[in-house]
Amino acid sequence: MNIYEYDALNYIINKGYTNQRLIAESTSYSLGKINKAISKLTDEGYLDNQFKLTDKARREINAKKPRHAIILAAGYGMRMVPINTEVPKGLLEVNGETLIERLILQLHDAGIFKIDIVVGFMKDRYEFLIDKYDVQLVYNPDYDSKNNLHSLNLMSDQLSNTYILPCDIWLEKNPFSTYELYSWYSVTETIDSGSTVRINRQKELIPTSKGKQANTMIGIAYFLDEDAKVLKNNLKKYSADEKYNDSFWEEALFYGENKLTVYARIYHPRNVFEIDTYEQLRELDGKSSHLDTDIISLISKEMGVETRDIQKIVVLKKGMTNRSFRFSVMGKQYIMRIPGEGTDKLINREHEYEVYQTIKKLHISDEVVYMSPENGYKITEYLHDAREADPDNPEDVKRAIQKLRSFHELKLQVPHSFDIYKEIEFYESLWEGKPSIFRDYQKTKEKVFTLKSIIDSLPKEWALTHIDAVPDNVLFVGDEIRLIDWEYAGMQDPHLDIAMFAIYSLYNRQQVDDLIAIYFPDGCTNEVRMKIYAYIAIGGLLWSNWCEFKRHKGVEFGEYSLRQYRYAKEYYAVVMEEFINKDN
């Protein structure tokens, strides 16, 4: 059968035969196509002379009947900040009912009661569904490091006459049916440059290049047993390959050697809502109880405004340790920082608060409206037209380093210090007994720690030091330069900031020396140069250990982590060969 025959038969299954004009109107196909489809169905024995279903049709209908559903609900829903700090996306309330419960009830209305829900983030919040709806929860332990292709792969052996659907979708009309005759994937007719599938003339979905004319993907699909077997094999193959860690499950459907061709199930964009952001939830249900989150209430209280005055919430890129979003109040824009998972172990928020109290009148950082020394929540004024320093732009680097030096010359004081050696040990302790990925780690660590006595023997200043003085934290705002993100700042030798700038920028030896020359326009002594090289080795080990902690949490930093470890080894050798052993 083709799509026209399938849909004509589906109409007769659900409503009985009326006349071909009504079938054409209901399916939005031309009368000619429906006439041809009815004739073909009759010729092939699916309809009798009275256009009623035959036993052959009933056997095929029963064989293709939906029997199972998989709801994907494991992810963070990062774009739902700030709501996702309190509730997972599937449990967002719209018009008094949660998204996932509405989907479950719609499945029940279609006669589907075997429902598996793949959970991860805030998994325990879904537990009540087991008793209330007799569903099964399947835990995805990799939810924080891999995308939903891996969630679906956990259920790949169960795929057979199965609906697949995300938990964060709201449809006005029930998208599920007691009867399905073919495999399909849902889209709207809305053009979406971010999508990579389009509808061809046969009503099939085929892949297209990103940026080309494509249809908005919804994420609901149905697979008959035969097609499900192909999808299952693709899921298993792709999930075993690390390059697909960030892939959506549709990668296994539309792309690769064994891609499937499925029909498009088309929805009107006004009838389907994928709720990815706070603003989308507010648009769909302005009275949703989840709009008044603790964070929104905090902003309202601290800024003296109503929650409805907090507008234009836009999630910013996820940083190495935090989540942030931009918002507007009375026409002015701000940024709310929400510390990421596990950062309470890494960063002392009281120390950070002390630093901001020390620098707040100097206008060298972003302007803080509110900060909590307990949990690290922070509201700052948004810096318009700001850009980060480019470590490959000599003029940017020169201005950034000069700004750092002028800050160091203030010789500010705070009541706490940053002990880089203790921090190295601390990050290692967070591995919880797991060995380093580097086979010679213990030997490297012993060597790097011998540099402590060398550094301690050299003269140094002792002042507030940024520690995380990297190009990303140097912002150019018009003619001004602002230093941001003071989470690690404390009393230290300011020359450590030079080393940190260099290793984050992945500089080679010549670039390191050029950096030193900028900081010391009148020349740098051999003792100070040796000290900075030692800091590069120690700083490299520090951030390598930090990366290993993050790796155990499922976060990879690619070349950055490897290069940090190389700095530890290579600059230890530089110090020993060019300064210590040479002098001996």
Residue 358: pLDDT band by 50, 70, 90 thresholds?
Answer: very high
| Residue 315 phi, psi (nearest 5) | -75, 135
- Three-state SS annotation for 437-459: CCCCHHHHHHHHHCHHHHHHCCC
Residue 345: pLDDT band by 50, 70, 90 thresholds?
Answer: confident
Q: Which pLDDT value is given to residue 79?
A: 64
Place of tokens 């924080």: 144
Mean model confidence pLDDT for the chain: 90
Q: Greatest CA separation found in the chain?
A: 105
Mean pLDDT (whole number) for 463-490: 96
Phi-psi region of 161 (alpha: psi -120 to 50; beta: other; left: phi over 0): left
Rounded CA-CA distance 65/325 in Å is 45
Q: Which pLDDT value is given to residue 320?
A: 45
Mean pLDDT (whole number) for 460-468: 96
Q: Which two tokens stand for residue 521?
A: 């326009």
Terminal C-alpha separation, the chain = 87
Closest CA to 516 of 503, 535, 500, 529: 529
Q: Which pLDDT value is given to residue 379?
A: 94
Rounded CA-CA distance 139/120 in Å is 6
- List pLDDT tens digits, range 25-54: 998 899 999 999 999 999 999 999 999 999
Hey, how many other C-beta atoms are within 10 angstroms of the C-beta on 156? 19
DSSP 8-class letter at 47 = B
Mean pLDDT (whole number) for 176-183: 94
Contact in structure between 489 and 506 (CB atoms under 8 Å): no
Helix (H) or strand (E) holding 40: helix 31-43
- How open is the CA angle 66-70-73, to the nearest 5 degrees? 155
- List pLDDT tens digits, range 424-448: 999 999 998 999 999 999 999 999 9
Place of tokens 């950082």: 365
Place of tokens 């234009």: 312
- How open is the CA angle 302-287-173, to the nearest 5 degrees? 145
In this predicted model, which residue has the larger pLDDT, 106 or 322? 106
Residue 473: pLDDT band by 50, 70, 90 thresholds?
Answer: very high
Q: Which two tokens stand for residue 2?
A: 């083709």
- Please tell me whether the peptide bond between 471 and the residue prior to it is cis, using omega within 30 degrees of 0: no
Q: Which domains does the chain have, with CATH numbers?
A: 3-63 (1.10.10), 68-274 (3.90.550.10), 292-381 (3.30.200.20), 386-583 (3.90.1200.10)
| Residue 171 phi, psi (nearest 5) | -120, 135
Q: Which pLDDT value is given to residue 258?
A: 77
Contact in structure between 81 and 338 (CB atoms under 8 Å): yes
In this predicted model, which residue has the larger pLDDT, 70 or 552? 70
- List pLDDT tens digits, range 481-500: 999 999 999 999 999 999 99
Rounded CA-CA distance 99/418 in Å is 46
Q: Which pLDDT value is given to residue 507?
A: 97
Mean pLDDT (whole number) for 319-343: 79
| Residue 136 phi, psi (nearest 5) | -115, 130
Q: Which pLDDT value is given to residue 96?
A: 87
Rounded CA-CA distance 296/288 in Å is 13
- List pLDDT tens digits, range 111-147: 999 999 999 988 999 999 999 999 999 999 988 788 9
Contact in structure between 12 and 25 (CB atoms under 8 Å): no
- Three-state SS annotation for 291-306: HCCHHHHHHHHHHCCC
Q: Which two tokens stand for residue 448?
A: 């790097």
Radius of gyration of the chain (CA): 30
Q: Percent of the chain scored above 90 by pLDDT?
A: 66
- Averaging pLDDT over each range in 277-286, 457-466, 550-559, which range is the top one? 457-466
Rounded CA-CA distance 102/282 in Å is 18
Closest CA to 239 of 251, 229, 228: 251
Distances (CA, A) of 527 to 271, 499, 534, 575, 583: 70, 15, 11, 10, 12
Rounded CA-CA distance 139/153 in Å is 12
- List pLDDT tens digits, range 501-532: 999 999 999 999 999 999 999 999 999 999 99
Mean pLDDT (whole number) for 289-309: 84
- List pLDDT tens digits, range 229-270: 999 999 999 999 988 998 999 999 988 777 888 999 988 888
Question: 185 forms bridges with which residues in the sheet?
Answer: 221, 264
Mean pLDDT (whole number) for 354-364: 94
Mean pLDDT (whole number) for 347-368: 94
β strands within 178-289, DSSP E: 184-191, 197-199, 204-207, 215-223, 262-267, 272-274
What is the sign, positive or negative, of the torsion defined by CA atoms of 77, 81, 86, 89? negative
